[in-house]
Structure 1
Amino acid sequence: MTTQAAAVSVVRPPARTPRPGRDREGRGFRHWGLLLLAGWAVQVAVRLWMASGQTVPVATPDEAGYLFAARVLTGGPEADMSYGTVYRGGYALLLLPAFWIADDPVTIYRICLAVNALISAALLPLAYLALRRMGLSRTWSYTVGHVTALLPSVVFYAEFVLTDAILPVLVFGWLLLTHAWLTAAPATPRARVTLYGAAAGAVVAYVYASHTRGVILVIVQLGIMAAAVLFRWRDLRSTGIAAAALVLVASAGSVLNGHLLPALYPGGDNDLQGNLVRRLTSVDGYGWVLSLGTGQVWYQIVATGGLAGIGLVTVAAVAVRRGTDPRLRVLALAVLATIAGIAFATSAALPVEYRIGNYVYGRYLACLTPVLFAVGAAVLLRASLRTVLWAAAATVALAVLTASVVQWYAGDLLSRYTYTRFDFPETAFLTWNWTEFHLWQATLAGLVLLGLALVAARLPRHGPAVLAGLLVVVHLAAVTTATTQISRPLVRGLTAHTDLRGTTDLGAQRSIALDWNVPWTIRLAQFYWAWDSRGTLFDARWTPAPTNVDLVVLAWPKDVPATATWGDAPPGWKVVDSRRTPEGDWVAWRRPPQADSRHAVTSGRPRSPSPG
């Protein structure tokens, strides 16, 4: 793979000592396939345990977008998510078995999390293969592969119905396949080389069909293909087949997403493309983009205790180092281009949300974190002391520099803007604070962890084992606290604030209309609970509440009785639930039971809605 093989070319093992954990072929450990399978099962179990408390999509609107997309693809009812971010259908395809097996929302949601666990755990064998290519023994490739697969961001995001649960696996697989395609030995059968290229193209295209971040991967992959032809590393036939696989899968994904758009976004989306264009055509926009992108890089360094930073500087060294194999140089540049492209493109498209996560955020680059972490771990285990110290010093400098950029641009907004716990699973653990963000405390904690890792790796005799043990403990502690302090409280709170199942028979409600003025987190949760109901929106400021639906949910003004929220309610309609919550206040009205609820829904749409 790009960075892994690149790290091997720039980092040499110490001449005075053998590689840690020399292979024991002929003395046991012959069944590595079975050992990897058992390890994968353990990783699945860890993810299922961490996700065991999840029953409702709390990472809104993202989770709702993917769930509703899968529901539409199985012939289920639509849900109006107009004026929000468009969530693509590639990932939703993986969720379809959950909809074939179950029919109630909680069971479907839990099965989707099981699908996440099965795919996310595949990071172990991929990391194992990558570390073997970097020259680690089987024993240490397996051990460090487990450590990589337990990265907090990898496990934490698998607790939600998000593309972030599968993207690390897809990106790792893409880089391994691309490396195999470019660097295959001349004696490798042509069919196998062609298969590597076609598979890499198909994986990239599937990422494109699943998330807009895939656009960056497609551009990078096309650049790699162009270089392969230009420098005659691969012939036109092999490259053409790889390109055809990319185009075919991407085209199928575009058709799929085109089918979902009118079903879920009938009023249009939130125009992220417009944000991107505006940011890239103004000086202020470039300041925003570069600063926020820098904050994403800072997060990757600190959240991994500096190891992703060591991986990043290693890849950069390979890209600029004289004597690097040209193919590895292109792959290293591809990784750097992917990091920069995702960081800056996502920053450019982001709306101003008045939250701290605008300025420091780890989720967008989390798909590349395992790659950089594995490279960093391999450097600690294989490199000479001089090389390790050089890489560590560069990492410290990069962490301080990126933190300084964040501090300069965001300033006191880091304490004034909204702190969202979901945005900071690792840094909250490092600072032991789940209510406030502290830039420099998190930076110091991450660098202290880097120092401990350096010392552990250099301990006589058992250094690598101590390093692996240290990292496993840190990763499990971080993801456990993220689960107990973030995931489960969010589930408890959202359930208490939105669950209508105890007050009305949602199975009998075939349609539900929600007032645009009800906060969107509550709207999407109630669309979820009313699983078999078609969901529509209206704006009560301009449009009368529709009467041709079974359930209407209205915003509840302060100092107004619940029964007065719909002054001209038709005869027989009654309030079945009302709640005042920290998120917002709402009242649910139900149509008379004897009225016909098996009709088409034609609710009004807001005349001039605001995406807020």
Structure 2
Amino acid sequence: MTRLAPLSPADPESDRTAGDSPADGRTPAGWWHARWVMPLALALGYVLNVLFRLALVREQDYPTVSPDEPMYLVMARILAGRSTTEIPNDQVIPAGYSLLISPALRITEDPVYAYHLVMGINALISCLVLPLAYWALRRLNVSRAVSYIAACAAVLLPPVVFYSQFGMADTPLPALVLAWLIGVHGMLSEGSRRRRIWFALLGAFAAGYCLLTHDRGGVIIALTGLVLLVTLVLGWAPRIAAALGLGLLAAMFAAKQAMTAWMMSHVDGAKPSEVGNVVFETLENTRLMRRTIMRTIGHIWYFMTSTWGLGALALVVCVCAVLSPRFTRANRVVAFLMVALLGGIALAAAAGLPNDHRIDTIVYARYLSLLVPAYVLVAVAVLFHIRGWKKIVALGAASAGVTLALTAVLLHMAGKQLPKSHFILWGLPDSTFLSSLWSDDWRSFHGARTTAVALIVFLVLLALRLLGGSRRAGLATGAVGVVLAVFAGWATVAITDQVTVPNMKSRYGDATGFIEKSGLRRGDRLVMDRAFRWETRVTMGYEVIDGRTWTRSLIKGETVPAEANVAVLNRFDDTSPAAATWPGVPAGWHIDRDVPEDHYVIWRRG
């Protein structure tokens, strides 16, 4: 099998590698290799992708994914120096992403304008995948043209764009993972001592910030620490590079702990996230072993189909790289990290997710989405370097076999549970898009159809590469990249229209709609009855930026916070008077307005 990269990476001075020579032997135009061309192309591509993302979310005015978005937005509000308020579920989760979007809440107290700014920050962060993807492919000795085309495809992939359309920590993770893998690869590749130190610091920082951003970062920081320790002991890189990397990794871990402690001190009744405890408790419970295995397979299956088979191709090659001495040490270690991270996150997610009887809990898209660009880029690099139609067909067959095997095992293990579970479109965007190409159905889950369409796309891409043969491998891989970019863009727009926009419209009443109907004013301090609609309660923690919120069992007589001046209670019986919604109402409160169409009553103090 052909190596993915030579022993030495691309020369940083000349930015040339053997991959820059076209496969048919023609000399490329001189202007293409001018120093200004690629920075200009990357800058233009970055700007266009930012504008594309902003166009997709131009009508989004408020958070729609509960409780995830409100949790990150409330923490961003506190980090921005705004007044404290309650946090959904009273759990403090990693605040690294909230720190990135906190400038939006420093600028304004208008929740709609602030959310628009958050979407803008998301677009700027998410599009960093473009230059990082280009850098990654150049390190794998892929030509500049193919690297640029493939990078443009990677930044348009639905799992990369979809989660950036919400105020969620999944936005920066794909870029952070690419930076992490580039850093480890650079540290272990040939180069000057100073250069390898900088790569080690890049990898350690990216791994550490993953931990600051989401609990998934725990798997990444553990793998990074392992690689740095082995490197330090065996001398795979200058030991000063490994030592400094370990030091920075420890500092990032300490920063995460300090940030969590600070956040807990600023939120009344807050407690640390219990995700890690749940994962270990589930893994130790032998009665839940079958469920955990089923979910792990389901998550990996979703990953393979959401990457249209290219993820399976990359997985096959990464496993071969780990086992074969024909690959460079840098490639073998990075391949190990990619395989280990895929399995580690899938297993942790399978164990940590609740038993909520949802299909997307069995085949979850979100937690592995951070690896989508990396796997797709490795697949493109393989197609660029591999020679001989027999090898291409063999790799294609192995990749299709992996995907089909996962499908068969999943449908066997979950065949009885899937029909009884709830279909939540937001949790299954990629698989539903693929199955809709078969049946035009966006309202149900079809595992077999999803696999069939994903493999059809994979075979089309493979056929394009086969048409180039060995002499025009670069041209054929470029064509694969173009088709991939077009298909990714189309899929992203379709998922936005069918998933993001309807989800946003359905949540209007929980955000802007409630603010308008309830008559909330600047500085109001809202207490909500615990029986009131859950989605509205968690959203209000962000929406009431210039005041604050509480949740209390008001109808059971729980004490009203002294600072509260507005209360909302359900109207369970439309035939009863509005005054009956709050038995034992404290003195000084009166009905401000009745909203019978939404079954609640607003009370005010004074």
TM-score by length of 2: 0.89
Structure 1 residue 402 and structure 2 residue 406: aligned?
yes
**Contact in 1 for aligned 2:70/2:88 (Cα 8 Å):** no
Task: Go from structure 1 to structure 2 and tell me whether the alpha carbon gap of 1:239 and 1:162 turns closer, same or farther (over 3 Å shift).
Answer: same
> Equivalent residue of 1:553, what SS?
strand
Task: Go from structure 1 to structure 2 and tell me whether the alpha carbon gap of 1:505 and 1:75 turns closer, same or farther (over 3 Å shift).
Answer: farther
**Contact in 1 for aligned 2:91/2:272 (Cα 8 Å):** yes
Pick the aligned partner of 2:43 from 37, 42, 59.
37
Task: Go from structure 1 to structure 2 and tell me whether the alpha carbon gap of 1:143 and 1:41 turns closer, same or farther (over 3 Å shift).
Answer: same
Pick the aligned partner of 1:165 from 163, 168, 171.
171
Match for residue 602 of structure 1? none
| 1:289-326 Cα deviation digits (max 9, x unpaired) | 22212111111111121111111111111011243334
Pick the aligned partner of 1:446 from 442, 451, 454.
454
Structure 1 Cα separation of the partners of residues 381 and 24 of structure 2: 11
> Equivalent residue of 2:370, what SS?
coil
> Equivalent residue of 1:77, what SS?
coil
**Contact in 1 for aligned 2:321/2:332 (Cα 8 Å):** yes
> Equivalent residue of 2:317, what SS?
helix
Deviates more, 1:194-203 or 1:205-214: 194-203
> Equivalent residue of 2:443, what SS?
coil
Match for residue 14 of structure 2? none
**Contact in 1 for aligned 2:150/2:380 (Cα 8 Å):** yes
Structure 2 Cα separation of the partners of residues 172 and 265 of structure 1: 37
| 1:549-573 Cα deviation digits (max 9, x unpaired) | 1222223435564712213334542
Give the aligned length: 579
Structure 1 residue 523 and structure 2 residue 531: aligned?
no
Task: Go from structure 1 to structure 2 and tell me whether the alpha carbon gap of 1:264 and 1:63 turns closer, same or farther (over 3 Å shift).
Answer: farther
Match for residue 13 of structure 2? none
Structure 1 residue 566 and structure 2 residue 582: aligned?
yes
Deviates more, 1:418-427 or 1:284-293: 284-293
Task: Go from structure 1 to structure 2 and tell me whether the alpha carbon gap of 1:267 and 1:120 turns closer, same or farther (over 3 Å shift).
Answer: closer
Supply the AA of the counterpart residue of 1:66: Y
**Contact in 2 for aligned 1:379/1:388 (Cα 8 Å):** no
Match for residue 356 of structure 1? 359
Query: 1:168-567, aligned counterparts within 5 Å?
Result: 168-185=174-191, 188=192, 190-264=193-267, 266=269, 268=271, 271-384=274-387, 385-432=389-436, 433-460=441-468, 463-498=476-511, 499-540=513-554, 542-544=556-558, 546=560, 548=562, 549-557=564-572, 561=576, 563=578, 564-567=580-583
> Equivalent residue of 2:86, what SS?
coil
Structure 1 Cα separation of the partners of residues 104 and 364 of structure 2: 31
| 1:535-594 Cα deviation digits (max 9, x unpaired) | 1112346443626412222234355647122133345421535366xxxx65242314xx
Structure 1 Cα separation of the partners of residues 24 and 170 of structure 2: 33
Match for residue 15 of structure 2? none
Structure 2 segments unaligned to the other structure (5+ residues): 8-17
CA displacement at 1:22 relative to structure 2: 7.1
Pick the aligned partner of 1:576 from 584, 593, 600.
593
Match for residue 132 of structure 2? 126
Structure 2 Cα separation of the partners of residues 88 and 576 of structure 1: 39
Structure 1 Cα separation of the partners of residues 308 and 583 of structure 2: 58
Task: Go from structure 1 to structure 2 and tell me whether the alpha carbon gap of 1:465 and 1:201 turns closer, same or farther (over 3 Å shift).
Answer: closer
**Contact in 1 for aligned 2:216/2:345 (Cα 8 Å):** yes
Task: Go from structure 1 to structure 2 and tell me whether the alpha carbon gap of 1:55 and 1:221 turns closer, same or farther (over 3 Å shift).
Answer: same
Match for residue 4 of structure 2? 7
Structure 2 Cα separation of the partners of residues 327 and 391 of structure 1: 22
Task: Go from structure 1 to structure 2 and tell me whether the alpha carbon gap of 1:579 and 1:380 turns closer, same or farther (over 3 Å shift).
Answer: farther
Among the aligned pairs, what percent are the same residue? 26
Task: Go from structure 1 to structure 2 and tell me whether the alpha carbon gap of 1:465 and 1:40 turns closer, same or farther (over 3 Å shift).
Answer: same
Structure 2 Cα separation of the partners of residues 20 and 305 of structure 1: 29
TM-score by length of 1: 0.88
Supply the AA of the counterpart residue of 1:500: F
Query: 1:25-174, aligned counterparts within 5 Å?
Result: 26-30=30-34, 31=36, 32-81=38-87, 83=89, 86-174=92-180
- Kindly report the root-mean-square deviation, in angstroms, between the aligned alpha carbons of the 2 structures: 2.6
Task: Go from structure 1 to structure 2 and tell me whether the alpha carbon gap of 1:579 and 1:407 turns closer, same or farther (over 3 Å shift).
Answer: farther
> Equivalent residue of 1:7, what SS?
coil
**Contact in 1 for aligned 2:364/2:428 (Cα 8 Å):** yes
Task: Go from structure 1 to structure 2 and tell me whether the alpha carbon gap of 1:270 and 1:215 turns closer, same or farther (over 3 Å shift).
Answer: closer
CA displacement at 1:23 relative to structure 2: 7.4
CA displacement at 1:76 relative to structure 2: 1.5
Task: Go from structure 1 to structure 2 and tell me whether the alpha carbon gap of 1:330 and 1:23 turns closer, same or farther (over 3 Å shift).
Answer: farther
Structure 2 Cα separation of the partners of residues 207 and 20 of structure 1: 42
CA displacement at 1:173 relative to structure 2: 0.5
Deviates more, 1:17-26 or 1:355-364: 17-26
CA displacement at 1:255 relative to structure 2: 0.7
Task: Go from structure 1 to structure 2 and tell me whether the alpha carbon gap of 1:48 and 1:299 turns closer, same or farther (over 3 Å shift).
Answer: same
